[in-house]
Structure 1
Amino acid sequence: MKWNSNLYDNKHSFVAEYGKSMIDLVNVEKDQKILDLGCGTGILTNELAKEGATVIGIDSSTDMIKKAKLNYPNLNFQVADATNLDFENYFDTVFSNAVFHWIPNQEKLLYSIYNSLKDNGKLICEFGAKNNVHKIQTAFEIVLKQHGYSYCSEFFFPSKEEYKILLEEAGFEIEHIIEYDRPTPLADGEKGLSNWSCQFFANHISNVSYKEREQILFETEKICKDSLWKENQWIADYRRIKIIAVKNK
């Protein structure tokens, strides 16, 4: 996925805003070491650091990390692979918001996180659950096929039962895990779904002509209109899974 940091901040600020509610779950005292995994442009990294904790923000996107360093020059940001973290028994908490569903190798990801945590350290994360954005993806797939293209989802959206097994196999003890609907308003009125699709389906439409891309986006909107357009805004059919898991000794 090629990320557009300006589009992300300007049109998808809801990602970080929802993530702020999870910070209350994190011990952010001065002696804590925290990893913000998939930090994006650094908004939540900054929130985590406000109480004096030592926080490192990592992301695989050089564009996101560049923007994060510009936004918060006093914080530590690094381009890194979440499945191959260069830390061992180091962090009290690994925090992550809206990231895990982008990572294909979940076993390697969880092993990497487990290895980076201290004994009794916590993984606190939230990401897409089973059937997240199902209506949007279904509409987009239908339209792509009508235009002669195939669609293969890049996302990993598990049920809590599926993810519970992965966590336990990695050695984590589950303290809290829930799966829930979270209808999410998209910014920018009528352009909201188009903006969302340009970011999150970028790999599928970046190589088509401007004219065809606009047609694909228009036809996707048309299919989604009845179910997702409400009171002059798009409401994306988000579903989330929220987890607190502890590294066993």
Structure 2
Amino acid sequence: MKWNSKLYDNKHSFVAEYGKSMIDLVNVEEDQKILDLGCGTGIITNELAKEGATVIGIDSSIDMIKKAKLNYPNLNFQVGDATNLCFQNYFDTVFSNAVFHWIPNQKKLLCSIYNSLKDNGKLICEFGAKNNVFQIQTAFEKALKQKGYSYSSEFYFPSKDEYKLLLEETGFEIQHIIEYDRPTLLYDGEKGLRNWVCQFFASYLSNISYEETEQILFETEKFCKNSIWKDNQWIADYRRIQIIAVKNK
């Protein structure tokens, strides 16, 4: 997945805005060490650092980290692999918003996070749950097939029970885990769904001509019209898992 930091900030800032609502779950006192895992352009990293905590933002995207450093030059941002963190027993909290569903190897991810946490350190995260953006994925798949292209989801959207088991197998003690619907307004009016598809399905469109891409986007919108077009705006069918888990000694 190649991220467009400008499109992400301009058209998908709702991702960070929802992430801000989770900050209340984090202890951000001065003596805390926090990892913002999958920090994007640094918006939440900056919020976490405002109370004086030591915060490191890590993202696999060079473009995102470059933008984060421009946005917040006084903060520590690094390009890194979430499944292979170079920290041992270092963080009080690993925080992550809307990232885990992009990572295929969840066991390796959770082991990496577990090892980076201090004893009794916390993982606080939220990401896509089972059937997240089901309507959009279904419509996009149909639109691709009409043009002779295939679709195989890049996302990992587990159920709460499925992920609870993975956490426990890694050694985490679960304090809080919920799975819920979170209908999400896509910014930019009629262009909202098109912007979303161009960002999050970019890998499918990158090798398709402009003309065919426009047709696929139009058909995706048409297929979604009866399900997520409401009151002259696109309301994406988001579902989320929210977690607080503690590293056992």
Q: Which position in structure 2 is the counterpart of 1:179?
A: 179
> Equivalent residue for 1:208?
208
1:145-203 residue CA offsets vs partner (Å, 9 max, x unmatched): 11101101000000000000000010000000000000000000000000000000000
1:38 is aligned with what amino acid? G
Cα deviation 1:181-230 (Å, max 9, x = unaligned): 00000000000000000000000011100010010000000000011111
Amino acid at match of 1:69: K
Aligned to 1:219: 219
The 1-side partners of 2:65 and 2:177 are apart by: 29
Alignment partner of 1:151: what SS?
coil
Partner of 1:165: 165
Paired with 2:233 and 2:36, the residues of 1 have a C-alpha distance of: 31
- The structural deviation recorded for 1:13 is 0.3
1:67: how far off?
0.1
Matched, 1:63 2:49: no
Whether 1:110 aligns to 2:110 is yes
The Cα shift of 1:143 comes to 1.1
Partner of 1:19: 19
* Alpha-carbon distance in 2 for matches of 1:29, 1:46: 14
Aligned to 2:228: 228
Counterpart in 2 of 1:195?
A: 195
**1:88 is paired with a residue of what secondary structure?**
coil
Structure 2: give runs of 5+ residues left out of the alignment: none
Q: TM-score, normalised by structure 2?
A: 1.00
Instruction: Give the equivalent residue in structure 1 for 2:237.
Output: 237
CA distance in structure 1 between the aligned counterparts of 2:44 and 2:214, rounded to whole angstroms:
33
Q: SS of the counterpart of 2:227? A: helix
Q: Which residue of 2 aligns with 1:156?
A: 156
* Unmatched runs of 5 consecutive residues or more in structure 1: none
Moved more, 109-118 or 224-233: 224-233
Partner of 2:119: 119
CA distance in 2, matches of 1:10, 1:64: 13
SS at match of 1:155: coil
Q: What is the aligned partner in structure 2 of residue 79 from structure 1?
A: 79
Q: CA deviation at 1:84?
A: 0.1
SS at match of 1:208: coil
Distance 1:144 1:169 in 2: 38
Matching residue of 1:97: 97
Q: 2:125 is aligned with what amino acid? A: C
Q: Could you tell me the percent identity over the aligned residues? A: 86
Amino acid at match of 2:190: E
Distance apart, 1:232 and its partner CA? 1.2
Cα deviation, 1:52-93, whole Å, max 9, x if unaligned, reads 000000000000000000000000000000000000000000
Structure 1 moving runs of 4+ over 4 Å: none
Say whether 1:5 aligns with 2:13.
Answer: no
Supply the distance in 2 between the matched residues of 1:237 and 1:206 (Cα, whole angstroms). 25
RMSD: 0.3
1: CA distance between counterparts of 2:239 and 2:151?
Answer: 21
TM-score, with normalisation over the residues of structure 1?
1.00
Rounded to whole Å, the distance in 2 between the matches of 1:79 and 1:169 is 28
Q: 2:59 & 2:33 partners in 1: Cα distance?
A: 17
Q: CA deviation at 1:241?
A: 0.2
Map of 1:145 onto structure 2: 145
Q: 119-128 or 136-145: which moved more?
A: 136-145
Output one character per residue of 1:16-60: Cα deviation in whole Å (capped at 9) or x when no partner.
000001000000000000000000000000000000000000000
